[in-house]
Amino acid sequence: MSETNHNGNQPTKADVQRTELNKMPVPGDFETGISEEEVTEAFNQQQQPSAGQQSDNQS
């Protein structure tokens, strides 16, 4: 038997390198297409309660 470690339970180096989670990220692959300004605007809109909610909270 050879000294290389090819146990049936352990993947080979080639198997590990082909695994999707072990691949290097591709620049621009996770681009969302949303600008920082759009995110800020959406966040600010969520933080401002509407007029109907304000009148309910003040009573």
Of the pLDDT bands very low, low, confident and very high (cuts 50, 70, 90), residue 47 is confident
Q: What is the rounded average pLDDT for all residues in the chain?
A: 74
Reported as a single tens digit per residue, the pLDDT across 18-33 is: 888 878 877 777 777 7
Model pTM score: 0.30
Residues in the chain: 59
Q: Are 16 and 22 in contact (CB under 8 A)?
A: yes
Of the pLDDT bands very low, low, confident and very high (cuts 50, 70, 90), residue 2 is very low
